[in-house]
Amino acid sequence: MRIYTSLSLATTLFASTLTVQAQDSANQDASHSNQTRDYYDNFWGDASDPDMSASSIKLTTPSFYYLEDKGYIVMECESVPRNENWILATEPEGYTGEGYVKYVGENLQGNDDGHNTDVLVKYQQNIEDRLIFPIRIQNPGTYRARVRVIHHEEDGDNDAWINLMRTPRRATRLGGKEPGKFHWNKFGWDGKQIWDGNFNTFTFEVVGDYLLYIGGRSTGFGVDRVVLHKDEQQQRALATDTPVSKKVSTR
């Protein structure tokens, strides 16, 4: 097991997050060519982080990481810190773990350019409104992100934002299409404006520590469990009886 000092952990996080390349990062719309790096979510390079309050620093300096093993990670959404815009819920039944987390903050569905898939919303700069999942990748490669969700309307309460912290990748959407029951999200952005069946993908170029987050978009949307998996591990990762991944302490 690796033991990190605060300085070495920060260095590892800095080096590894800057090497992440998401599948859609090369497919930016030409209409945004004049945008500054503020357009991206928390780019950590020659631009400063927009929110470095004490609580934000605590959220982005976790005490543990979920350990990826054999090409997948399984995490419970209620296991990470949350503010008042996310509440623990235990009804209806059907969740895994101790419950699920419901977004009760304001709707954050609008974008400055009118396109749902291009994230220019000011909200995306608010670190404290996110569920942040610290992950440690041991086997680099491309992973699909899937979230077990619940919502109750056909539309309006059925999606959230998802992204990695401190990368130039734009935040994208995930959502459900089966009102009234727990299910794995049914759509996700793959960088080519193809929603169904592709889902969000992240390519990790190197071994290292990363921060995945889910940000509220639609009031009432519930998230139960989040997984990252390589294609060959999909069945294992999506099985609800698969145990939560091990945690590695940073202290």
Residue 148 pLDDT more than 90? yes
pTM for this entry: 0.78
Residue 228 inside a domain? The answer is yes
- Taking only the tens place, the pLDDT of each residue in 100-133 is 999 999 887 654 433 344 444 444 557 788 999 9
Q: What percent of the chain has pLDDT over 90?
A: 51
Residue 91 inside a domain? The answer is yes
Q: Residue 19 belongs to a domain with what CATH number?
A: 2.60.120.260
pLDDT higher at 66 or 60: 66
Residue 218 inside a domain? The answer is yes
pLDDT for residue 52: 57
Listed range (42-51, 74-83, 218-227) with the worst mean pLDDT? 42-51
Number of domains, the chain: 1
Q: What percent of the chain has pLDDT over 70?
A: 67
pLDDT for residue 166: 75
Residue 97's contacts (CB-CB under 8 Å, 6 or more residues apart) are: 76, 78, 79, 224, 225, 244
Domain residues for the domain of 234 are: 6-249
Residue 23 inside a domain? The answer is yes
Residue 170 inside a domain? The answer is yes
How sure is the predictor about 135, in pLDDT bands with cuts at 50, 70 and 90? very high
Residue 86's contacts (CB-CB under 8 Å, 6 or more residues apart) are: 101, 102, 103, 104, 105, 131, 216
Residue 209 inside a domain? The answer is yes
Residue 1 inside a domain? The answer is no
Residue 74 inside a domain? The answer is yes
